[in-house]
Structure 1
Amino acid sequence: MKILLTAINAKYIHSSLSVRYLYKNCTDLDCDMKILEVSINNHLIDIANQIFDEQPDILAISCYIWNIELVKQLLPLVHRLLPQCKIICGGPEVSYETKEFMNDFPMVNYVVRGEGEEAFHSLIEALIVKEDDGQIDIKGVAKRNEDGSIDENIAVTVADLDNIAFPYDEADIENLKDRIIYYESSRGCPYSCKYCLSCATRGVRYRSLDKVFAELEFFIAHDVRQVKFVDRTFNADKAHYLPILKFIAKQNCRTNFHFEIVAHHIDEEIKEVLKTMPKGRIQFEIGIQSTNLKTLGQISRANPWQEMTDNIKSIMAYGNIHLHVDLIIGLPYEDLTSFAKSFNDVYLLQADMLQVGFLKLLKGAAMNNLTKEHDYVYMPQAPYQVISNKYMDYKTMRYLQIFVDIVEMYYNAGRFRHTITYLIDLYEQDAYTFFADFTAYWRREKLHLAPHAPKNLYKFLADFIQINDRFVNKDVIYEILKFDALMSDNGKFRPEFLPWQELSKQVIDDFYMGEQAQKYIKNYQFKSWRDLKKKFTLEIFNYDIEKALQNKIEKCKNVMLFVYEDGKVSYQQIEQGDIEL
């Protein structure tokens, strides 16, 4: 019997944890099982062709919010190509409203509901021995009977996570080179936020620390680029997560570990560990979602704001941990004025990324019980994004979609961080109004109607600066924008409208061929002019940039050296006398 486990990921760089769990937990069964991994960017017929080429007896497909619409197109096509193939679906998108899904797609024979490792194993085991389909009755497995009726059966969880096999081996790591690797050390969440699927299950289950350490050592030994923990709240239990952080801090590796945490579960002992963490070793994602107390109460979320902000500012001050903070648009009682306050509150934390998303009414989430009370209208297909509610009409939502895109391009992408910070300072830290004004310009110029190359973003920002009366000292701003250009993308974008000032060839030759270069560049050795141009840039500035970034304007002609190595950039100001202007 040949079984094809199929994962359709959101992006090529992603990998599927679920199908690897299923595969590794069925290795004791007498069958030919294989994984097919594609992305939603693959054409429908190409995916169907790859499935057809494998000629499986059983096709198992994992169904998530990002792929369910494609899966719905794929199912009837595969059934036409392989009419004798049994089809099993599983995942969050089919674990709820299961009977409706199976009625809509009569080619689906089984649905694994909830956590599937044990239920899927039992189902495949029963099918291998060719047990009569009508006799199959497995917890967590919905089935279609011969008369067309459907037995839903209940969704299940795995009680002991130690019983689940580690989902990766040597071949997996080789195949997933430089992709994101997903991992979990716990399941469940101690909180019951109504917009989240974790509210559907109670309690948290943990994998034993000895197993976790051994598995993390496997990733480190194989030089994995990033391990993204999918634990819903990684720092729910200090006895579990503190030893993991200590373990990671002691490693000598390039692997980055990503965690979703709550900010108020960080005490002084945890902070001492975080201070010792090698730079780039970990990154945190903290869901704030809103700072409106009435909103937070309605969605059953506790945000002790002072404690959270103190801890976030401490983490940012260490300078060694990349931090994301999240907001959600469309929550109950959050109108535009409330959102503006939430946005400004979170912006002031100065996290590395301020991620703003729109509320999605996920199947199985408790938010679905609030749709009438708050007049929710949402997309009928995945991702079920909110279109409007009692507090924001769709015109407002549409405006905020453009607003969010601009935040993504000009704040989160990191290219304009110094310029944007400086401009928002001129708005007296009212980040919402700055981005709102920028959004108004963007819409007026109809820039939201087409995608834009990164180099064009400089021109759009410069145009907005030019017409904005709030911005005095525009020549200072353009110098900062030039600084940002040199700090991003290895300095390859040089917008012609910026005040570039080239040093003479003789001055450049004297600097790099003399002793000055060794003073500023560690382990400097001249190899070739081509190599030098790729790695180093000298640029004249008319102002002291570091002081300008602190709103201290000092006109001072100076030269700055930018060094590009290993995907990173550093800079330093050349002392007077070390280079001739």
Structure 2
Amino acid sequence: MKILLTAINAKYIHSSLAIRYLYKNCADLDCDMKMLEVSINNHLIDIANQIFDEQPDILAVSCYIWNIELVKQLLPLVHRLLPQCRIICGGPEVSYETKAFMQEFPMVDFVVRGEGEEAFRALIEMLLAGKNGAEININGVAKRSVDNSIDEGVAVTVADLDSIAFPYDEADVENLKDKIIYYESSRGCPYACKYCLSCATRGVRYRSLDKVFAELKFFIDHDVRQVKFVDRTFNADKEHYLPILKFIAAQDCRTNFHFEIVAHHIDEEIKEILKTMPKGRIQFEIGIQSTNLQTLGQISRANPWQEMTENIKSIMAYGNIHLHVDLIIGLPYEDLTSFAKSFNDVYLLQADMLQVGFLKLLKGAAMNDLTQEHGYVYMPQAPYQVISNKYMDYKTMRFLQIFVDLVEMYYNAGRFRRTVTYLIGLYAQNAYQFFADFTTYWRQHNLHLAPHAPKNLYKFLADFIAANDTFSDKTVIYDILKFDALTSDGGKFRPEFLPWREVAKQAADDFYKSEQAQKYIKDYQFKSWRDLKKKFALEIFDYDMIEALQGNIKKRQNIMLFAYEDDKISYQQIQKGDIAL
């Protein structure tokens, strides 16, 4: 019997943990089982063709919020191409409202509800034994009975995480070398935030630390680029997560580990470990969602703000940990004024990324019980994003959609970070108002309809600066924007409207040929002018950029040297007398 496990990922760089779990936990069964991974960017017919080419007897499809609409198109097509193929679906999108799903898609024979490792294996064992749907009775598996009625069963969990086989092997890490690898050391969450699916299950289950250490060592030994933990709250239990952090800190590797944590579970002992963590070894994502106390109470979320703020600022001060913080638009009681305050509160933390998303009314989440009370209107199809409520109409939501895009392009992408930080300073640190004014300008000029190539983004920001009376001294702003351009994208974008002032050719020649260059460039050896132009840039600034980046504006003409090597960009100021202006 040939079985095809199929995952449709959100992006090419993603990988599916779910189908690897199923595959490894069925490895000893007497069948021909394969995995197929594609992305939602693949054409429907191309995905169907790949399935057809495999000629499976059983097709198992993993269903999530990002792929369910494509899956709904795929299932009838596959059934036409392979009418004898049995279809099994699983995942969060079909673990709830299962009966309605199976009624809408009669070609689906079974749905595995909840955590599928044990239930899926049991189902495959019975199918291999020649059992039909009516004869199969497995916890966690919805089926069709003899009269074609649907027995939903119940969603299940796996009690012992150690019983689940490690989902990766040598071939996997080789095939996934350019992709994100997902891993989990726990399931469940101690919290019950109403917008999250974790509110549907109680308690946290952990994988044994000896297994976790061995599995993380496997990733490290294979030089995996990034391992993203999918634990809902990685730092829920100190006895579990502190040893993992100590283990990771002690390794000699380039592997980066990503964790979702809560900021108020970081004590002094944890801080001591974080201080000594090798730079780039870990990154944290912290969900704040809102700073409105009434909102937080309604969604059953505790945010001890002072403790969170102190811990986040401590982490940022260490300078070795990349930090994301999250906000959600559309929560109860959060109107535009409240969101503006939440945004400004979180901006002032100065995290590496400020990720803003829109509330989604997920199947199985407790937020669905609050739709009438708060007047929620949301998309009828996945991702079920809220489009209005009592506190924000759709016009406001639409405005904030563009607002979020600008935060992503002009803050999170990092390309304009110094310029935007300086401009927000001129707005008296009112980051919301800066981005709101930029959003208004953006809409007035229909820039949301224009191509957003990097060179265009420079022009859009420069034009906004020119049109904004808040910015009186624009010369220093353009110097900072020029600095951003030279320290982003390998320095390859040189917008012609900026005040470029390269060092005179003779002065540059003298500098590179003299011993002075060795003061600034480690292991410097002159090879060719072409090589120099590719790796270095000398630029004259009217303002002291080192001081300006610290918030001190000093008009002092100076020269800066920018070095480009691999993915790294460095810069330094040339001392007076070492090169002629």
Question: Shorter-normalised TM-score: what interval?
Answer: over 0.9
- Structure 1 residue 375, shift from structure 2 partner: 0.5
* Residue equivalent to 1:2: 2
SS in 2 for 1:356: strand
Structure-2 separation of matches of 1:535 and 1:158: 54
Structure-2 separation of matches of 1:542 and 1:408: 30
Q: What letter corresponds to residue 135 of structure 1 in structure 2?
A: E
- Structure 1 residue 552, shift from structure 2 partner: 2.3
* Residue equivalent to 1:120: 120
* Residue equivalent to 1:141: 141
1:305-320 counterparts in 2 under 5 A? 305-320=305-320
Q: What letter corresponds to residue 463 of structure 2 in structure 1?
A: D
Q: What letter corresponds to residue 368 of structure 1 in structure 2?
A: N
* Residue equivalent to 2:29: 29
Structure-1 separation of matches of 2:156 and 2:531: 59
* Residue equivalent to 1:352: 352
Higher mean alpha-carbon deviation, 249-258 vs 341-350, is at 249-258
Structure-1 separation of matches of 2:552 and 2:13: 43
Map Cα deviations across residues 324-347 of structure 1 (whole Å, 9 max, x no partner).
000000000000000000000000
Higher mean alpha-carbon deviation, 131-140 vs 2-11, is at 131-140
1:32-181 counterparts in 2 under 5 A? 32-181=32-181
Q: Normalization by structure 2: what TM-score?
A: 0.99
Structure-1 separation of matches of 2:526 and 2:265: 51
Matched, 1:500 2:488: no
Map Cα deviations across residues 99-143 of structure 1 (whole Å, 9 max, x no partner).
000000000000000000000000001000112321100000001
Structure-1 separation of matches of 2:500 and 2:559: 12
1:252-291 counterparts in 2 under 5 A? 252-291=252-291
- Structure 1 residue 146, shift from structure 2 partner: 3.1
* Residue equivalent to 2:324: 324
- Structure 1 residue 513, shift from structure 2 partner: 2.1
* Residue equivalent to 2:431: 431
- Structure 1 residue 438, shift from structure 2 partner: 0.3
- Structure 1 residue 553, shift from structure 2 partner: 2.1
Q: What letter corresponds to residue 413 of structure 1 in structure 2?
A: A
1:449-488 counterparts in 2 under 5 A? 449-488=449-488
- Structure 1 residue 546, shift from structure 2 partner: 1.9
Q: What letter corresponds to residue 126 of structure 1 in structure 2?
A: M
SS in 2 for 1:263: coil
Structure-2 separation of matches of 1:364 and 1:212: 30
* Residue equivalent to 2:552: 552
Q: What letter corresponds to residue 122 of structure 1 in structure 2?
A: A
Q: What letter corresponds to residue 168 of structure 2 in structure 1?
A: Y
1:392-541 counterparts in 2 under 5 A? 392-541=392-541
Map Cα deviations across residues 299-332 of structure 1 (whole Å, 9 max, x no partner).
0000000000000000000000000000000000
Map Cα deviations across residues 205-250 of structure 1 (whole Å, 9 max, x no partner).
0001111111111111111111000000000000100111111111
Structure-2 separation of matches of 1:403 and 1:16: 31
SS in 2 for 1:448: helix
Q: Could you tell me whether the CA contact under 8 Å between 2:416 and 2:481 is conserved in 1? A: yes
- Structure 1 residue 455, shift from structure 2 partner: 1.1
- Structure 1 residue 504, shift from structure 2 partner: 1.9
Structure-2 separation of matches of 1:48 and 1:549: 53
Higher mean alpha-carbon deviation, 550-559 vs 494-503, is at 550-559
Matched, 1:574 2:574: yes
5+ residue gaps, structure 2, are: none
Structure-2 separation of matches of 1:204 and 1:343: 31
Map Cα deviations across residues 391-414 of structure 1 (whole Å, 9 max, x no partner).
000000000000000000000000
Q: Could you tell me whether the CA contact under 8 Å between 2:536 and 2:564 is conserved in 1? A: yes
Structure-2 separation of matches of 1:376 and 1:501: 55
CA-based RMSD of the aligned residues comes to 0.8
Q: What letter corresponds to residue 164 of structure 1 in structure 2?
A: I
* Residue equivalent to 1:14: 14
Higher mean alpha-carbon deviation, 317-326 vs 566-575, is at 566-575
Q: What letter corresponds to residue 146 of structure 2 in structure 1?
A: E
Q: What letter corresponds to residue 75 of structure 2 in structure 1?
A: L
Q: What letter corresponds to residue 546 of structure 1 in structure 2?
A: I
Runs of 4 or more consecutive aligned structure 1 residues displaced over 6 Å after TM superposition = none
Q: What letter corresponds to residue 485 of structure 1 in structure 2?
A: A
5+ residue gaps, structure 1, are: none
Structure-2 separation of matches of 1:373 and 1:173: 48
Q: What number of residue pairs does the alignment pair up? A: 581
Q: Could you tell me whether the CA contact under 8 Å between 2:536 and 2:562 is conserved in 1? A: yes
Q: What letter corresponds to residue 340 of structure 2 in structure 1?
A: A
Map Cα deviations across residues 152-204 of structure 1 (whole Å, 9 max, x no partner).
01100000100000000010111111210000000000000000000000000
Structure-2 separation of matches of 1:527 and 1:31: 60
Q: Percent identity?
A: 85
Higher mean alpha-carbon deviation, 52-61 vs 454-463, is at 454-463
- Structure 1 residue 494, shift from structure 2 partner: 0.2
* Residue equivalent to 2:226: 226
* Residue equivalent to 1:244: 244
Structure-2 separation of matches of 1:420 and 1:38: 37
Structure-1 separation of matches of 2:95 and 2:451: 36
Structure-1 separation of matches of 2:538 and 2:444: 38
Map Cα deviations across residues 26-46 of structure 1 (whole Å, 9 max, x no partner).
011000000000000000000
Structure-1 separation of matches of 2:132 and 2:407: 57
Q: What letter corresponds to residue 247 of structure 2 in structure 1?
A: F
Map Cα deviations across residues 351-399 of structure 1 (whole Å, 9 max, x no partner).
0000000000000000000000000000000000001000000000000
Map Cα deviations across residues 466-513 of structure 1 (whole Å, 9 max, x no partner).
111110210000000000001100101000010101112222222222
Q: Could you tell me whether the CA contact under 8 Å between 2:109 and 2:133 is conserved in 1? A: no
Q: What letter corresponds to residue 510 of structure 2 in structure 1?
A: D
The change in CA–CA distance for 1:22 and 1:555 in structure 2 (over 3 A counts) is same
SS in 2 for 1:264: coil
SS in 2 for 1:14: coil
Structure-2 separation of matches of 1:28 and 1:256: 32
Structure-2 separation of matches of 1:216 and 1:264: 26
